[in-house]
Structure 1
Amino acid sequence: MKFAVRSRPAPHLPGVHGPARVHRRTASVLGRLHAGDIAVLDHLDMDRETAQALVDAGVVGVVNASPMISGRYPNLGPELLVEAGVAVVDSAGSEVFDRVRDGAALRIDGGAVHAGDSLVADARELTADLVRSEMGDARSGLAAQLDSFTHNSTEFLRREQDLLLHGHGVPRTATEMAGRAVVVAVRSHGWEEELRGIKPFVKEQRPVLVGVDRGADALASAGHRPDVVVVTGASDDLPSAAVLRKARDVVVLVERGAPRGAIDQLERLGIRPLRFETTATTEDAALLLASAREASLIVGVGMHATLDEFLDRRRSGLASTFLTRLKVGPDLVDAAAVPRLYDGAVRPRHLVGALAAGVLALAAAISVTPVGQEWVDDVSPVVSSTTSDLIDNVRGILP
């Protein structure tokens, strides 16, 4: 087997240097990145979640075969990459995959991409000014996207009306959710901070923990064991086998009439998944599952609700997300709001404080009664004598 070699070009040449990590599928590149790499991929309209994953991996450059911003809508990924100081070029063309091998030493100088002494792509350099300009143009075209969204919502409601209106088709899990709080975790931008913020809530209320795709790994990395894992079955999105085996329920999303491919893949790992036939996104299916199983409260981790983020993260599933939020709206709380709404359960120190306050109040009330005055008069000479003896003893000790 031939392994890719991590090599670097001559440092005296201008531009950004690093070994290439090459694949047309973005998910395949993300799993192999190291600090200092240059990612070569094909990702039209890069979203913020993917851009954040690239920044977190420590890449120094990104070469995109497709445009970072097509102008259809204002996607948030390019701005995040540029602000993080990553060298970004796009519209490099599909030929770049034939000219750059994985592990090759790349150099990005402006819009030129070099592999050794060869120019492998004459691309477009993305600067902060260019990103701001194209984002402004993209926002002006949102009306057309909203028209498309209206059509998609109608189609989704037609296909999934039994699920949305009556909860038909939702699998019955071994994990009981009725009357319990449920935390649905998605591995997305800001999930780590949100999980830290709800730690007291999770510890004291012991909600049902639902991991969505790699969100199950996020829960495990934060020290929690997911009770339910909801996955699409795509190998790039599956959480680790160890996390899947520890979950009490694993739910696999499949389209109606689809083959058993995803289920067979999990069964080979020793897991018996539940089949959930729906065209909803994995995140939305997890919310609908909790709602259909009569959860008292649903806390969403890693979910976002602004229009820009909806368009950026879930373009193909925007109708699913919108209608699902309408369905579960009264029961859904964003994890970022939980620390402001939940102070925690009553702790021993709270009880001690309340007891001390009660004793002081009782003593103050008794002291103003005739019986209380007699007690004070009886106790005062004893306290005075004891205090006087203590002062004399201290004076005898001091030089």
Structure 2
Amino acid sequence: MKLSGLLHRSRPELPGRTGVARVDRRTDTLLRRLKPGDIVVLDQIDMDRSTADALVAAQVAAVVNASPSISGRFPNLGPEVLVSAGIPLVDGVGAEALHTVKDGSKVRLHEGVLYSGERVLAKGVEQTPDSVADALVEAKAGLAHQLEAFAANTIEFMRLERSLLLDGHGVPEVEVELADRQVLVVGSGFDHTGELARLRSYIREYRPVLVGVGAGADALLAAGHKPDLIVGDPAEVSTEALACGADVVVPAFADGHAPGLHRVQDLGAGAVTFPSSANPEDLALLLAHHRGAAVIVTVGLSASMTEFLDRGRSGSNASTFLTRLQLGGTLVDGRILGSLYRSRVSAGAVLLMISAALVAVLAALLVSDAGDAVLAWLSQGWKGLVDQIKGVFG
């Protein structure tokens, strides 16, 4: 008995990364229940950067994809984010893995093979920085086809949503006042947390209306700001955010059906619906625009062509393109604002003015009978004032 226990304890550990399997075909649902060290099993062709950023933030141990993470249709950014973060990515294990791998079970990943103990559950191709870079180069050839499909979808979206885009027909009434106000719209795209942090001084100084799109509402709360307006599927928003007192706008289908509306109503919060085929980000922008916002600043929303196509949803991209075209010069990218914004009275200017005043005081002291105690008091006060100013502006 003792010998058996000794042999069991001395058995070498199997190689690879181990963790709890989190399995779900619905990526949005999966992302909300991840914990550090989980091994994720999903099915997402052309993994986008937003999904990859969420996986990195959740500190998962590895990602196993039933589909190709880069199909070659266009150069999507998600795989590069994962491998750069040191998270193993195994591609093309097949849809059957979503049934073979049991959610919540302990699994092990080694060299592209997913195991339960020593039993093989799924096999795929483990991506490396070199393989991802090569695939992205080849994928650029698919851009022409994507742009052709995008042009067709743009025409169709314009036909369906012309009255909304041009005249604001269907835009719901909300209690928060938007006319002639600056509006900050926060989504959950790439580096939205960092962008929001860099706009801290802007928010403090200008007090814009804060709009959270989906998980962007929780990003605002996490940064210490209460959203004034929430736009998106309530299933993507925490209970805390939905119950914070913000106006809630729920996207709806053309027939008026709004998935997730009952969740807001169950919380006792008020909500209005916004029937449209546009994505929630664009609905938030159009609402602010047609309600008379003076300036609309975006955080975590697609900006470049690469990010734009990275979504992989042609209809959604048509919505975004036409929305940005309609908003024109009122739209400001938060990344640009964050890099250019300076408080109207800088810390250096304040210190310079105080220094000039102190020089005058010290000059007067030098020709007076003031003692060393006064000088010591001034020196201590100066140090404290500098520390306070650094806290305010830094």
Mapping of residues 1-399 of structure 1, within 5 Å: 12-233=13-234, 235=235, 237=236, 239-313=237-311, 315-316=313-314, 317-346=316-345
Letter in 2 for 1:270: G
Task: Give, in angstroms, the shift of residue 201 of structure 1.
Answer: 1.2
Task: Give, in angstroms, the shift of residue 192 of structure 1.
Answer: 1.4
Task: Give, in angstroms, the shift of residue 111 of structure 1.
Answer: 2.1
Task: Give, in angstroms, the shift of residue 259 of structure 1.
Answer: 2.5
Return the TM-score normalized by structure 1. 0.83
Distance 1:184 1:247 in 2: 17
Distance 1:203 1:192 in 2: 17
Task: Give, in angstroms, the shift of residue 355 of structure 1.
Answer: 9.2
Letter in 1 for 2:317: L
| CA distance 1:348–1:91, shift in 2 (3 Å) | closer
Alignment-derived partner of residue 364 in structure 1: none
Distance 1:53 1:178 in 2: 34
Letter in 2 for 1:264: H
Letter in 2 for 1:118: R
Task: Give, in angstroms, the shift of residue 188 of structure 1.
Answer: 2.0
| CA distance 1:354–1:147, shift in 2 (3 Å) | same
| CA distance 1:297–1:112, shift in 2 (3 Å) | same
Distance 1:325 1:196 in 2: 24
What is the CA deviation profile of residues 88-126 of structure 1, one whole-angstrom value per residue up to 9, with x for unaligned ones?
111111221222212222222212221112111121221
Alignment-derived partner of residue 387 in structure 2: none
Task: Give, in angstroms, the shift of residue 13 of structure 1.
Answer: 1.7
Q: Which ranges in structure 2 are unaligned for 5 or more consecutive residues?
A: 1-10, 372-394
Alignment-derived partner of residue 374 in structure 1: none
Task: Give, in angstroms, the shift of residue 18 of structure 1.
Answer: 1.9
Task: Give, in angstroms, the shift of residue 80 of structure 1.
Answer: 1.1
Task: Give, in angstroms, the shift of residue 63 of structure 1.
Answer: 1.0
* Residue pair 2:189, 2:302 contacting (<8 A) in 1 also: no
* Residue pair 1:267, 1:273 contacting (<8 A) in 2 also: yes
Comparing 309-318 with 74-83, which one deviates more in the overlay?
309-318
| CA distance 1:260–1:120, shift in 2 (3 Å) | closer
Alignment-derived partner of residue 395 in structure 1: none
Letter in 2 for 1:220: L
Task: Give, in angstroms, the shift of residue 27 of structure 1.
Answer: 2.1
Letter in 2 for 1:338: L
Comparing 244-253 with 46-55, which one deviates more in the overlay?
244-253
Task: Give, in angstroms, the shift of residue 329 of structure 1.
Answer: 2.2
Distance 1:12 1:90 in 2: 25
Distance 1:258 1:171 in 2: 13
What secondary structure, in the 3-state scheme, does the structure 2 residue paired with 1:216 have? helix
Letter in 2 for 1:44: I
C-alpha RMSD over aligned residues: 2.7
| CA distance 1:40–1:322, shift in 2 (3 Å) | same
What secondary structure, in the 3-state scheme, does the structure 1 residue paired with 2:243 have? helix
Aligned length: 357
Task: Give, in angstroms, the shift of residue 314 of structure 1.
Answer: 5.4
The structure with more radius of gyration: 1
* Residue pair 2:195, 2:338 contacting (<8 A) in 1 also: no
Q: What is the percentage of aligned positions where both structures have the same residue?
A: 45
What is the CA deviation profile of residues 184-222 of structure 1, one whole-angstrom value per residue up to 9, with x for unaligned ones?
001222111111111111112111000101100110111
Distance 1:71 1:337 in 2: 31
* Residue pair 1:63, 1:92 contacting (<8 A) in 2 also: yes
Distance 2:193 2:31 in 1: 19
| CA distance 1:342–1:78, shift in 2 (3 Å) | closer
Task: Give, in angstroms, the shift of residue 11 of structure 1.
Answer: 6.5
* Residue pair 1:184, 1:298 contacting (<8 A) in 2 also: yes
Distance 2:19 2:352 in 1: 60
* Residue pair 2:66, 2:97 contacting (<8 A) in 1 also: yes
Comparing 257-266 with 68-77, which one deviates more in the overlay?
257-266
Return the TM-score normalized by structure 2. 0.84
Distance 1:19 1:99 in 2: 14
| CA distance 1:268–1:13, shift in 2 (3 Å) | same
Distance 1:320 1:82 in 2: 31
Letter in 1 for 2:107: L
Distance 2:12 2:265 in 1: 50
What is the CA deviation profile of residues 31-72 of structure 1, one whole-angstrom value per residue up to 9, with x for unaligned ones?
222222110111111111111111111112111111111111
Distance 1:60 1:355 in 2: 53
| CA distance 1:197–1:213, shift in 2 (3 Å) | same
Letter in 2 for 1:328: L
What secondary structure, in the 3-state scheme, does the structure 1 residue paired with 2:173 have? coil
